[in-house]
Amino acid sequence: MPSSSPVAARPPQGRRVVFVDGVRTPFGRARADGLYAHTRADDLAVRTVRELLRRHPQLPPDRVDDVALAATTQQGDQGLTLGRTVAMLAGLPPSVPGFAVDRMCAGAMTAVTSTAAAIGFGAQDVTIAGGVEHMGRHPMGLAADPNPRFLAERLVAADALNMGATAENLHDRFPALTKERADAYGVASQARYAAALAAGSIEPDLVPVALRDPERGWGLATADEPPRPGTTLAGVADLPTPFRPGGRVTAATSAPLTDGAASCLLAAEDVAEELGLPVRMRLVSFAYAGVEPEVMGLGPVPSTRKALDRAGLTMDDVGLIEINEAFAVQVLSFLDAFDIADDDPRVNPYGGAIAVGHPLASSGVRLMTQLARQFAEHPGVRHGITTMCVGLGQGGTVVWENPHATGEEAAR
């Protein structure tokens, strides 16, 4: 397993940064008849920003210091300095600047940590950060032109740019990561999402999106499209393996191609108190790390070790884990690295991307929004993490503190 050099714990400097709120659109399947086949990517992002402002009328729009919006494929309707264009389209005043971010799957996570760093430094007070991906219109890598040196000089393996192939490579490298375990994890993700939906834990974070279809007329997106409730082990056992003949990665153990957007509101804790904004999480630390691109799914392992080291914590201190499920085998590699059981209740209690979908650059804020809701449900938990693998061999992790922690946990 990859490892990072020990990092000394670093007590927080400057102002404390808090997660005020997060919202997302319902996620749609990225295909010609999908939920958002006739909806613009930037309009999805606009809808989330407007909803944040609507939910928090005590925030004067001109107090927003920056808007950072991520997209992996920055072209067409998800290009043109997305943060600035979305800010303008959402009705924020011209004085509010914005910028675009690209760290592939960790785009929204990077938008959060970049603007949070500015808040902690004292350069900003309030920011909006998020991401959008319309994979039906902009498939990952569309029109990209990778430098031929990557392969000619053997800087990366030939299959390093194919995310599904990197998942197969994890199965190859670690014999304990069997197809049977991956199938079971994928089925469990669907079941956990269905249970969370039935319990009312999903809908509060969704913002409805108006739809227009040239054939079916007007509609309203109010629920996620990708989930497959009732998925069984028997039903997924013989699915095709599209990334390799006779492979182990299937549609049941992969996040589906997805369209959607997510955004969140961040603030300095003293400013949140001044404006009467809620505090749903406190940022403790964050870290990014690199691994071999051909096993990019291992990225969350060193990034999590680094982030926990910086916070002076260990995995034993973490009560909730939101990890992006790009592939089941990628999650299992993370769990094995930290000696966590496949069915540990701390991990993705609402299910994950295998069920709900993974609109690349937006997923980091989905993880954060779900963790914030889980913190409120579990006051006995003090710390949680959001973590994800990132294309081209990276990982990102953010450590959060629960402001609702009570009893012994709050005193620690």
Structure-token match 């902009």, residue found: 138
Helix (H) or strand (E) holding 125: none
Residue 72, phi then psi, degrees to nearest 5? -80, -40
Q: Which residue is catalytic, options 105, 134, 378, 404? A: 105
Cα(first)–Cα(last) distance of the chain, in Å? 31
Instruction: Compute the radius of gyration of the chain from its Cα atoms.
Output: 20
Give the number of other CB atoms < 10 A from CB of residue 206.
Answer: 19
Give 122's DSSP letter. T
User: What pairing do the DSSP bridges indicate for beta strands 17-24 and 217-221?
Assistant: unpaired
Q: Which distant-in-sequence residues (6+ apart) come within 8 Å of 318 by Cβ?
A: 308, 346, 383, 384, 385, 399
CA distance 185 to 183: 5
Among candidates 227, 232, 228, which has minimal Cα distance to 184? 232
Q: Which residue is catalytic, options 171, 378, 389, 404? A: 389
What does the buried/exposed string (b/e) look like for 354-367 if buried means 16 or more CB atoms within 10 Å of the residue's CB? bbbbbbbbbbbbbb
Q: At what angle do helices 328-337 and 300-311 cross, to 10 degrees?
A: 40
Asked if 264 is an active-site residue, the reply is: no
Report the Cα 11 to chain-centroid distance in Å.
26
Q: Which residue is catalytic, options 171, 358, 378, 404? A: 358
Neighbouring-strand partners of residue 389: 395
Q: At what angle do helices 328-337 and 163-173 cross, to 10 degrees?
A: 40
Catalytic residue ranges: 105, 358, 389
